[in-house]
């Protein structure tokens, strides 16, 4: 049995779509970081996406845990031409509505679709399971990456998955049992 503790990085305070832009995290809530570090299994491995908001958050909560190399496949969704824009700033309003209301194959210009994000994150999870069977793994990642795994565990459609909230510095616990996945805590703030 493998347990994944998905931690969303510290806040960026951006009010736009932030995917692959390498914005820093606000890690000034030291008390929350300490609670998070104490909550996570002490013998877990720690990995993060390669974006600085995830790397810095992982470094802040790792403690004595073994740190694995950053994995770019754990990045947030690639918003392409919509990166760092607000919903209402996107030129093609019909396309962005379709992207959010019927997620799946629709993708921003130069970006990726929901299904492409799921495939990318699933690949990273499969590699982690193969390389570290039966281990507890803390994954510091992003809203979209975490939701891909909530979707897998709950066997939901993409639209239903988007209804879930994932707060910054929250923990979502997903356990692999045989060939299936089970959801434990969702959006838990220690």
The Cα 100–Cα 93 span in angstroms is 11
On whether the CB atoms of residues 6 and 136 are closer than 8 A, the answer is no
- Give backbone dihedrals phi and psi of 159, rounded to 5 degrees, phi first: -60, -45
pLDDT at 72: 98
pLDDT at 176: 86
pLDDT at 178: 76
Give tens-digit pLDDT for 17-34: 999 999 999 999 999 999
In a 10 Å sphere around its CB, with 0-12 CB exposed, 13-18 middle and 19+ buried, how is residue 153 labelled?
A: buried
pLDDT at 27: 98
> Tokens 């994995």 correspond to what residue?
71
187 confidence band (pLDDT: 50, 70, 90): very high
First to last CA, the chain: 23
On whether the CB atoms of residues 159 and 103 are closer than 8 A, the answer is yes
pLDDT at 131: 97
The Cα 6–Cα 25 span in angstroms is 17
The Cα 61–Cα 82 span in angstroms is 31
Give tens-digit pLDDT for 116-153: 999 999 999 999 999 999 999 999 999 999 999 999 99
- Give backbone dihedrals phi and psi of 135, rounded to 5 degrees, phi first: -95, 155
The angle subtended at Cα 4 by Cα 124 and Cα 145, nearest 5°, is: 50
Closest residue by Cα to residue 73 from 123, 24, 25, 8: 123
pTM recorded for the entire structure? 0.96
On whether the CB atoms of residues 127 and 68 are closer than 8 A, the answer is no
Q: 2-183 is classed in which CATH architecture? A: 3-Layer(aba) Sandwich (3.40)
pLDDT at 168: 98
Length of the chain (residues): 190
pLDDT at 136: 98
CA atoms within 13 A on the CB side of 56: 14
157 confidence band (pLDDT: 50, 70, 90): very high
On whether the CB atoms of residues 150 and 184 are closer than 8 A, the answer is no
């Amino acid at each position: 049995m493998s347990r994944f503790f998905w931690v969303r990085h510290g806040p960026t305070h951006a009010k736009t779509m932030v995917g692959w832009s390498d914005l820093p995290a606000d890690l000034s809530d030291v008390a929350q970081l300490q609670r998070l570090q104490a909550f996570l299994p002490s013998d877990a491995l720690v990995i993060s996406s390669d974006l600085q908001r995830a790397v810095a958050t992982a470094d802040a909560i790792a403690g004595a845990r073994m740190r694995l190399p950053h994995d770019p496949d754990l990045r947030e969704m690639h918003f392409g031409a919509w990166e760092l824009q607000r919903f209402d700033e996107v030129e093609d309003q019909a396309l962005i509505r379709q992207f959010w209301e019927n997620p799946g194959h629709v993708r921003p210009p130069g970006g990726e679709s929901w299904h492409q994000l799921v495939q990318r994150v699933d690949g990273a999870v499969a590699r982690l399971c193969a390389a570290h069977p039966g281990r507890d793994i803390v994954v510091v990642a992003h809203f979209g990456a975490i939701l891909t795994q909530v979707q897998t565990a709950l066997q939901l459609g993409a639209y239903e998955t988007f209804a879930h909230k994932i707060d910054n510095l929250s923990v979502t616990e997903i356990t692999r049992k045989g060939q299936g996945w089970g959801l434990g805590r969702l959006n838990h703030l220690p």
